[in-house]
Amino acid sequence: MIRDRERMVQFVSDHAVTSEPSHGPDSAPRRDPFVLDVRSLGRRPGTMSEVHRTVATPDKLGVEMIGIPAGSDVDLDLRLESVSEGILVTGTACGETAGQCSRCLEPIDGTVTVFLTELFAYPDSVTEQTTEEDDVHRIVDDRIDLEQAIIDAVALELPMSPLCSPDCPGLCQVCGIRLAVAEPGHAHELIDPRWAGLANKFSELTGDDKPDGDTSDGDTSDGDKPGDQERRD
């Protein structure tokens, strides 16, 4: 048993990922940065290899309001292990994010790290034959493509409505100014559109509406109060 363990350790050491492997996980063409060659692992359960590299994502990873921009670096720190039904991939993918606040639309940035645990089924394995195509990843031509797994993981990790701060007040619904930088008590006097015409009419009615020259205000011409003339008679 000890000799078997020593042979296994030696085998893994001989097939460990190097800076310039001929058929290792890092030998995938750079045009497919998330595709890894797994021929070195064979179909020997227990065989393992590690991948530590930085790649540029060809497309944006994330959701509509925030994500890892296309062309940005993604750091991969992975372990590939051969199991009875395929290659088990575990590890992390990390990248810088950029996007917009969903309330005030200000630019925001940050970092996202996702944890991966994905099984890639061997061709003709029981798992490959008994699962739907969308339920488990496949090994194709001795290669595994991590792109969809990373896309799904990043999309689940990032918020659908990112915020620049938890208490972001957003934008003024009337003028569009950011309320975070507006004057205290910023507001607009709004008139119900149904009453707008009446309000304009009242604004035109300024001053006295009596005929010109009428300044009597109900007084008699001689200054007597109403009824005084009758008492004198």
Q: What DSSP assignment string belongs to 171-200?
A: B-TTT--BTTTSPTT-------GGGHHHHH
Q: Which two tokens stand for residue 217?
A: 């205000």
- Note the pLDDT of residue 163: 95
Alpha carbons within 13 angstroms on the beta-carbon side of residue 185 total 1
User: What does each of the 233 residues of the chain score in pLDDT, given as a tens digit?
Assistant: 434 444 443 433 343 333 334 445 544 444 589 999 999 988 889 999 999 999 999 999 999 999 999 999 999 999 999 999 999 999 999 999 999 999 999 999 999 999 999 999 988 878 777 888 777 889 999 999 999 999 999 999 999 999 999 999 888 888 888 877 777 878 777 766 776 666 666 666 654 444 454 545 545 445 555 555 555 54
106, burial (CB in 10 Å: exposed 0-12, middle 13-18, buried 19+): middle
- Note the pLDDT of residue 1: 41
Alpha carbons within 13 angstroms on the beta-carbon side of residue 206 total 3
- Note the pLDDT of residue 172: 85
| Beta bridge pairs of residue 62 | 67
Give pTM, 2 decimals.
Answer: 0.65
Q: Which two tokens stand for residue 79?
A: 């372990």
- Note the pLDDT of residue 187: 79
- Note the pLDDT of residue 102: 93
CA-based max dimension of the chain: 145
Instruction: Reduce the DSSP state of residue 70 to 3 states and report it.
Output: coil
